[in-house]
Structure 1
Amino acid sequence: MTDLTPLNRAPAPRDYHLSDDAWELIREATPESTRRAYQEDWKRFTDWCAEQERTPLPATGETLAQYAAHLALGEKAPATIGRAMAAIAKAHELAGAGPLDRRGVKDVLRGYRKRYAKQGGTVKRAPALTLTALRAMVATLDPDTLVGVRDRAVIVLGFAMGARRSEIAALNLADLEPHPEGLQVTVRLSKTDKDGRGRIVAVPYGSNLATCPVRAVEQWRTALAHHGRQDGPLFVRIDRHGRVGHVATGRGDTDGRITGETVANIIRRAAVAAGLDAADAFSGHSLRRGFATAAYAAPDADLVRIARHGGWKEGSAALFGYLEEVDRWRKNPAAGIGL
């Protein structure tokens, strides 16, 4: 085909058609938890538009700015407003409605962030899980119960990997490969890996039996095998009757896989049981923050290796924010000036 002369022909109707299979692949490009949050944000926006007699799709820049102000007056956190705008933008993108005019939204958010800070508002961050806190949490788990064995594996493996809660929940038994020095764990999908290239995380044996991630995972795998589970999800539900992977009709994945929210609940429950300060604020992200700060505080810390291990992008602002918590005191510029 060498003739690239444009054809003067109207587009065929199929030029704008996508099959159900194509739409399903587009849907899978966005994590389920994000889709669920976007759906809720979109519903709230459309409900507001109906009340205000505004058009949600396509939305004008003025409608977006007014909605952002509406959320601000409702004292929503700036990050919550930002996510709502992302959900609206995604809906427009999927509908082929073109890019949004966000100029007014940016000004509203800029003014609101200043007001939010003046009024004492702060960005809520999950506390970093220290090794001392980790040991205290693990000590509350009963090693003679399935729940105790599973929860210990979730907590110590997640910490050792510096993993996101979604990454922990998504692990399969087939993603674990024994190694003479520990485990090689394949993370197939992550927030910063949009194309699903995956990464391999080396998890070494721990020096403390109670918090060794390799031994904790092996104990859990043995328990799964005892219940006839040789493949499928690594971490599954356990109901109050002790049934492994049981899913109530119409609820959850049919394979019994836990969710990222379950990971957060496991961590929070153990933190409360251990009597930790601000235990209710602990979440799945506490493992990730805790790993970053603990690894950076080690004598032979290597920023590049820490970032690759935890799947942070090069130059990640989030990672540097965690490390600042260590350097704030370890490398304090005011400490050695003779005050």
Structure 2
Amino acid sequence: MDVVPATAETTSLETETISESTASEVVSSSKAGGLSAEARAAVAEAIPVETRRGYAGDWRRFTAWCARAGRRALPATGDTLTEYLMHLKGEDKSPATMDRALASIAVAHAAAELPKPSTVGARRVLKGHETERKRSKDPRRRPRRAAAATPPLLRKMVAATDATTAIGRRDVAVLLLGFALAARRSELRLLDWADVAEVEEGLAAEVWRPKVNHEGPLGVPYGSNPATCPVRALRAWRQHLIDQGQPPTGPLFLRIDRHGRIAHPMRRNGRPIGDPTGRITGEGIGDAVARAAARAHLAAPAGLLPDLPPRWSGHSLRRGFATAAKQAGKGLIETGRHGGWSDGSKSLAGYFDQAGVWDETNPLYGIGL
């Protein structure tokens, strides 16, 4: 039994290992001395930034619950995890949120060189919660996936964007290059000038993808429609930056304020904030997609579940690529390797399944009904 009094003294050891406010706090030190700060940072660096940020938030919530419940967070027991999943179920958290909470706890134990607690009971709670949510048929409890920005919708989004402005040119390039690379927003924002070279066939792009080992550049050919050609769109954006006196080095996509100023220094209470290089944030990528969808009036319900309106985000470009690839008859392997999915990716297979609901792979076609 791991229940302990919920006092500051008994919880100080757990909270001490996660006291840093950065995302790398999940990679905590061992109670036996453990890793140096440099080693912990190196281990944390191998985990994608957004994953680390999510895990860190999950770990903070778990340790806070443990303090309130009088349980030990590190090391935790299987009973503690089961009770915590019951707590999350009571808050009607999504199965995906609950699953990630378990993953963050496992990461923290591994980083602290401690055995991972049993998840048998917790997984049963999770499975039951998932079944209950499906049975409820409540549209508010269904997962809201990012809408797929397929080429027909991208054409509408681009057509509704004023490409004579700096923000318009940047957003068009973000939309089209993001789709062509099937890029996560974190990958798109990290592109530098030197990462994308114009070649005879189009673009050769080096994309930093921490989850997949990829050697060599990705090829982005010229589009058949000049208005939605990623090569031409990026060229126009780059030329605009040069015309505005921006050097052809550093971040490829920069923040732009409401006055149209590119990479303008930002301050809050007299102190500089934001990336000093002017690099756009992941949230900025998502905002560009959402703005374009709103301008094109793409907020109407769509898909198989008409009571769930689509959610436009930075992930819409990546999902749109997977959907379009499936509809064009491309295979899982070639699509996955271009987009940085691991071989056998369940998420990519899910996109393919959803995109194939009405194509010739539907088993009802041709069976004689």
C-alpha distance after superposition, 1:120-145 (max 9, x if no partner)? 23232112112221111111211111
Q: RMSD of the alignment, in Å?
A: 2.0
Which residue of the partner structure matches residue 31 of structure 1? 48
CA distance in 2, matches of 1:46, 1:303: 40
AA at the equivalent of 1:333: P
1:145 and 2:165 correspond: yes
CA distance in 2, matches of 1:293, 1:256: 32
1:218 and 2:235 correspond: yes
Q: Secondary structure of the equivalent of 2:275?
A: coil
Contact persistence 1:61–1:103 (CA under 8 A): yes
Which residue of the partner structure matches residue 57 of structure 2? 40
Contact persistence 1:272–1:280 (CA under 8 A): no
Structure 2 gap ranges (5+): 1-31, 302-308
Which residue of the partner structure matches residue 156 of structure 2? 136
Q: Secondary structure of the equivalent of 2:205?
A: strand
AA at the equivalent of 1:243: R
C-alpha displacement at 1:63, in angstroms?
1.1
Which residue of the partner structure matches residue 234 of structure 1? 252
Contact persistence 2:145–2:310 (CA under 8 A): no
Contact persistence 2:46–2:210 (CA under 8 A): no
1:335 and 2:353 correspond: no
The two structures have a TM-score, normalised by structure 2, of: 0.81
Contact persistence 1:157–1:213 (CA under 8 A): yes
C-alpha displacement at 1:171, in angstroms?
0.9
Contact persistence 1:167–1:190 (CA under 8 A): no
C-alpha distance after superposition, 1:74-120 (max 9, x if no partner)? 11100001111112222222222321221211111111111111112
State which of 298, 313, 316 in structure 1 corresponds to 2:342.
Answer: 313
Q: Secondary structure of the equivalent of 1:48?
A: helix
Between Structure 1 and Structure 2, how many residues are aligned? 321
CA distance in 2, matches of 1:88, 1:250: 35
Which residue of the partner structure matches residue 269 of structure 1? 291
Contact persistence 2:34–2:112 (CA under 8 A): no
AA at the equivalent of 2:249: D
AA at the equivalent of 1:174: A
Structure 2 CA distance for partners of 1:321 and 1:111, relative to 1, 3 Å: same
AA at the equivalent of 1:322: Y
C-alpha distance after superposition, 1:37-81 (max 9, x if no partner)? 222111111211121111111111111111111111111100001
Q: Secondary structure of the equivalent of 1:89?
A: helix
Which one is further off, 17-26 or 198-207? 17-26
State which of 102, 108, 122 in structure 2 corresponds to 1:105.
Answer: 122
CA distance in 1, matches of 2:98, 2:62: 11
AA at the equivalent of 1:274: A
Structure 2 CA distance for partners of 1:280 and 1:253, relative to 1, 3 Å: farther
Which residue of the partner structure matches residue 135 of structure 2? 118
CA distance in 2, matches of 1:46, 1:304: 40
CA distance in 1, matches of 2:210, 2:184: 8
C-alpha displacement at 1:273, in angstroms?
1.5
Which residue of the partner structure matches residue 291 of structure 1? 321
AA at the equivalent of 2:359: R
Which residue of the partner structure matches residue 185 of structure 1? 205
C-alpha distance after superposition, 1:152-211 (max 9, x if no partner)? 000011111122222111111110111111000011224334xxx555210011121211
CA distance in 1, matches of 2:52, 2:355: 35
AA at the equivalent of 1:219: A
C-alpha distance after superposition, 1:211-266 (max 9, x if no partner)? 11001101111122233232111111111232222342453322222222221121
Which residue of the partner structure matches residue 75 of structure 1? 92
Contact persistence 2:144–2:310 (CA under 8 A): no
CA distance in 1, matches of 2:127, 2:179: 35
AA at the equivalent of 1:263: I
The two structures have a TM-score, normalised by structure 1, of: 0.88
C-alpha displacement at 1:312, in angstroms?
1.9
Contact persistence 1:187–1:199 (CA under 8 A): no
AA at the equivalent of 1:307: G
Identity of aligned residues (%): 47
Which residue of the partner structure matches residue 7 of structure 1? none
Which residue of the partner structure matches residue 9 of structure 1? none
Which one is further off, 156-165 or 73-82? 156-165
C-alpha displacement at 1:148, in angstroms?
0.4
Structure 1 gap ranges (5+): 1-14
1:325 and 2:345 correspond: no
C-alpha displacement at 1:33, in angstroms?
1.7
Contact persistence 1:185–1:203 (CA under 8 A): yes
CA distance in 2, matches of 1:48, 1:203: 48
CA distance in 1, matches of 2:178, 2:158: 13
Contact persistence 2:183–2:339 (CA under 8 A): yes
CA distance in 2, matches of 1:84, 1:214: 41
1:281 and 2:298 correspond: no
Q: Secondary structure of the equivalent of 1:330?
A: coil
CA distance in 2, matches of 1:325, 1:117: 17
Structure 2 CA distance for partners of 1:108 and 1:320, relative to 1, 3 Å: same
Contact persistence 1:127–1:282 (CA under 8 A): yes
